[in-house]
Each structure stands twice: as C-alpha cells, then as structure tokens.
Structure 1
Amino acid sequence: MTPQRTFSFSAWTMVVYFVALSGNTLTIFLIYVDRGLHTPMYFLLSQLSFIDLMHICTTIPKMATNYLSGSKSIFFLGCATQHFLYLSLGGAECLLLALMFYDRYVAICHPLRYTVLMSRKVALMMALTSWLGASLNSLIHTVIWMHFPFCGSRKMYHFSCEYPAVVKLVCGDVTVYETTVYICSIVPLLLPIILVSTSYGFILHSVTGMHSAGSKRNAFATCSSHFIVVFLWFGACIFSYMRPRSQRTPLQDKVGSVFYSIITPTLNPLIYTLWSKDVAKALRRVLRRGIIIQ
C-alpha cells in the first residue's frame, strides 16, 4: 500500500472513529443527564452505545496506529486481549439486541403491565446477563485458543485479532475447535434471532389491531429503527462466523469485520437518534439548560 493510500485510509478510519465516538458518547450522556430518558428502554440503549463505544476503541486505535507507523505488529498477550474483548462485546450485543426487542414487545403488546414486566431491576438483570454470559463464553474460547501451537510466519491477513484470522495461524488440527465455535455461535446468534422474530410477529399483530393512526406510527417508528440495527448486526455476524472455513477468504473476513465492528457502531446512534423524538427533545432540553446556565 502506497503512502498516499495509507494516509487516506487512516484519515477515513479516524473520521469514522470520531463520528462513532461522538455519537455513542452523546447518546450515553443524554440518557444519563435527562430524567425523561430514565426508562428501561433507554437504559438498554445506553448499554448498547457503551458496547459500540468499546467495540470501536478495541479495533480502530490499534489499526490506525499500525497504518501510520508501518509496524503492523501486535504482542501475543495484546492479541489475546483483543480477541477476548472482540468476542465479549459481540456476544453481549447479540443478547442485548434481542432483549431490547422484548422490551418493545412488552411496551406495545402489554402497555398496562410494562412497569411490572420491565422494571429497573429487570432491565439491570438483562444488561448483566448480556455482559456476564458473553464474557464467560469469550473467556473459555480465548483460553483454549491461547494454548494452541502457532508456527510459520505468523502473518495475519486482518486488521485485528479476530477468530477467523487467528485460527488460520494454528499448526495443528482445529477441526474439533472450529466445530465447537460453530455450535457456540448458534446460541448467541440464532436464539436471539428467533426471539426477535417472535416478538416482531406479536408486535405486528398488536399494531394492526390499533385504531389510532398516531399509535401505529409511533409503534412502527420505534420498532423499525431497532429492526434495522438487528438486521445489520446479525447479518454481518452470520456472514463472518457461520460459514465453513473452506468458503472463507481473507477479503471476505475483513469486509464482514469492518461492517459489524466499525460501520454498525457508527450507524447505531444515528439510527436511534433520527427515529427517536424523545432523544431529540432531550438534546434540546440539555442545550437549553446549558444556555441558561451560561
């Protein structure tokens, strides 16, 4: 890669990084300071923004540093740490997106029981389940991966220590391990998809029975933004993790990884902000409050 292309790629990467960083940070800040957003739905959204924030901080700074310095290297322990964070954050986002859709199902189909079924304690348990379950799964896979023998040039044709790229550096037979990873990927990917599909079916049935056009628009607006995020995230994850090794190429792995580790965290706050009138009102209230204080 020529120096000019390296600079343009690094500049593009840093622009995306700052857009994602500012968008997710602003979302977390608004939900924290504005009392109108202190609801289970926005609490879960703040957790999603925090996951996206950590996702881009796990990959982009190291990638940009390597391209600018020209070193393109990483220590083994640093690679293992990045691998652990990558799997933890990805698994947590899969579970959290499914639970967020359940929150919308309760709000639309059982509005009178929402405060009981989706209390603050329930929302907190959802967030903890997503974090702890994903971290435990990632820790097991990372420990197993660290004990594999590595040989050869140890050149990894990827911009981060992600599973599809790292497993190609192992010398021994990894068929059993790949089968295990494939099976373990089904649980955090397919089960949330089933939960999302089921919830969305009940939501559509409930929305079609509404008599108010305004209620229908609000319900569809809330669910459509979440459905777009779910489609982008799970589509990219299935493309990257649920294909046989024989059908993978380094370029395809890079494209899939860029999509769900960089593009999706950048788009998520934009999608939710554009669709949510509550976030826009909260932003105006915070800005107005700041002007009054000044």
Structure 2
Amino acid sequence: MDVQAQWFPGHMAKTFKRLNEEIKLVDIVLEMTDARLPLSSRNPELSKYCRQKLHLLLLNKSDLADPAINRAWISYFERLNTPAFLYSSKGKGQMKLLENFIFAHATELTDKFTKRGLEKRALKVMVIGVPNVGKSTFINGLVGRKSALTADRPGVTRQTKWIINSEQKLAWLDTPGLLWPKIEQKEAQLLLALIGSIPETILDKENLSYRSFAYLWENYGKYLAQRYKLEEKAEFDPALFDQAVKNHGCLRAGGKLDYERFAKSFLNDFRSGILGKISLERPEI
C-alpha cells in the first residue's frame, strides 16, 4: 500500500508550536474528519492538546460516504463516549443541527457562564483537522460568503483566524490543516492521499490510482465495474485496471494506455462522489 507519502511543511510545524497558546482561548475543540475515513483522518497528535477542553468530532462530507457505514461509525464513537456528528455542507439545515449538537454537549460550560452572569457570552469553538477535510468550505458556510480561500488541495489555509457571526452564539477559530510529522501506517498514507490530504505534487498519481483502485475493488467493485464497464469479479485482477483505462477512453497514439490521464479522472471520480457513496474504513464491531 506504500505510496511514499510524507508531508509536513513549515507552516504546520509553526501551527503546532502555537497550538498550546491558542487552545487556551477557546472553550470547545471541534475536530473535523472525513466521514469516509474517520479514524485515519484524525491527527493522533491533537489529543494531547485537547485534554482540558470539550472535544467534539465532526464527520464531514458524510454525503460522500456509505450511509450504513456512517451510522455504524456514530454507534462506534458512542461506545467510546466520543460525541460525533455527521455533517454535509450540501445538506439543508445542517448548521442549525450542528449548533444544537454543540450546545447539547456544552451544558456544563453554559451553566458556568450563566452563574457568572455571562449568559450572553459566545462559546468559542476551534475548528481543527487534517488538510482537505472541508474546513474552509465549512467556515465559508458560517458567514454565507467566501471568507476563507477554498481549493481541492491541502495546505490552502496557512493562518488561524476568528469568524464571528452576530446571529449565532458561537465564535469560531479557523486553523490550518495539520498532519503529523511521520505517518507510520502505509495504509493510512494511501487513504489520506486518496482523499487529498496529501498534495498530489509529491505523489506518483499513477501508482496511487492503481493501488486505490485495487483497494476499492474489495468492497465497492460493483461501483467500479459500473463506472468503467468491467466484469464483476470476486478478487481484483491487475488486468481489470488496464481494461478500465481502456474502457474509459484514456489512450495515447497507437492505442497505448494513458495511465496518467486515467489517474486524474479516477481520483476526481472518487473525490467528487461520481463513483458512488464510498467509505474507506469500517469500525470494529
């Protein structure tokens, strides 16, 4: 599964250094993950900074994930006493539901403010997570306009900033996407690269697309067969990948397979949801 994907640019290292101070300014840490990858898209380094704060989990892009697996993840996190919320920026009324979720878990905080005569004080929420899980799109949705630069590549947000909406009783602190210095698990490297948390500029996209195709065939072979006009088989066969490239019309002069062109198309098909609602991890029962 190794795609040789390690990426920890300077701005991430600086953000980690500032995190101890900035986390003192907030009441709640809202950790955003990709619902298709709820465990591997969690930064293991964050827990040490969040021990004294209310720590909530937001499973973003839930509209792109397998609905049955989404429900299984919520049950999984409930068993761990980890408050988790399924979120999609495309869903109507999602922000209001999220606010209700936050306040339902913050009663101890709000009661404390009320006793101190600070019932009008907004709860301060830090939004944090690995790159490309949708934080900038989420922040843009808070204010109804593009307050944060968004792009389908990691590392766009480089600085922390506050977003305060007078219509809400919440103040939000946006932070840059944070990976950890060394991703040990090879499978996690692959899956983080597949969702775009690691930039394509440091990846072999052809290798990534092949390995991802093989990985997805195990549980979602039907979707791949439909999209790329393939015969459904129980096990992945490398010839299937070549046939997919050919069937998708990715050919060079002389009929040679254009793996580079297919890789770009395949990755877009997955990330945009064209392939179908796919989850990359399943909780342990």
Q: When the two structures are superposed, what TM-score results if normalisation uses the length of structure 1?
A: 0.25
Higher relative CO (Cα under 8 Å, sequence separation at least 6) belongs to 1
Query: Structure 1 or 2: larger helix share?
Result: 1
Query: Structure 1 or 2: larger strand share?
Result: 2
